[in-house]
Amino acid sequence: MCLFCKIAAGEIPSTKVYEDDTILAFRDIAPQAPTHILVIPKAHIPSVDGVNPENSALVAHIFETIPAIAKAENLVNGYRVISNCGPDAGQTVPHLHFHILGGKELSIQMA
């Protein structure tokens, strides 16, 4: 089982901010902004490259939930959503996840 599958299964503890039957949001262990949350499908999808017609409803559900998480975190001034896919993007955990970053004015650097 991959690291985030273990977190989804509760085998590794995390600070959860949202959970339902199919997705989980928890605080990043090494935050890069005052608010840094990871949102994952509980089902294992390796990365954005693994999104397909069979599982894309999970991605839609994640994006429908992100605004509610941002509101609960009081990110009234905006936030950034990032998914790193593969080595060139610096993906370190091979389970699809979306970073929510906010709580400060973020750098505009994209690469």
Active site residue ranges: 97
Look at the alpha carbons of 45, 85, 71, 53 in this order and tell me if their dihedral is positive or negative.
negative
Q: What is the largest CA-CA distance in the chain?
A: 37
Q: Which of 30, 108, 110, 111 binds ligand 5GP (CB under 6 A)?
A: 30
Size of the site for ligand 5GP (CB under 6 A): 14
Least distance from ligand 5GP to the Cβ atom of residue 99, Å: 6
Q: Which of 60, 65, 59 is nearest to 18 (CA)?
A: 65
**Residue 21 half-sphere exposure toward CB, CA atoms < 13 A:** 0
Is residue 93 a contact residue for Zn ion (CB under 5 A)?
A: no
- What is the distance between the alpha carbons of residues 101 and 30, in angstroms, rounded to a whole number? 12
Is residue 28 a contact residue for ligand 5GP (CB under 6 A)?
A: yes
**CB-wise, 22 or 84, nearer to ligand 5GP?**
84
Q: Contact positions toward ligand 5GP, by CB under 6 A?
A: 3, 12, 14, 26-30, 38, 84, 90-93
Residue ranges binding Zn ion (CB under 5 A): 2, 4-5, 44, 95
